[in-house]
Amino acid sequence: MPVQWCTQMRILLFALRGLTSDRRGVTALEYGLIAAVMGALIVTAFSTLGTDMHTAFSSIGAVMTSNAAKM
């Protein structure tokens, strides 16, 4: 029984040692956090400036429509 337990512990420690040297998960987590922060900033910017942007695009569309009608 103790031999099996010792063997299982060695296998577990070997697996854990491999996980500590693997940095792919950390990098993916960092990229995920950056994407989440950028997404939150974009949503905040659009919700804050949404009315102003709607007004600006509407006036640009009206100018383009009137200029196209003159052609």
For 4, phi then psi, to 5°, come to -65, -40
Residue 50: its pLDDT value, please? 80
Please check the confidence at residue 68 and state whether its pLDDT lies above 80.
Answer: yes
Please write the tens of the pLDDT for every residue from 24-61.
667 888 899 999 999 999 988 888 888 888 889 999 99
The ranges assigned to domains in the chain are: 23-71
5 or 32, which is more confident?
32
pTM score, whole prediction: 0.43
Provide DSSP, 5-41.
HHHHHHHHHHHHHHHHH--HHHHHHHHHHHHHHHHHH
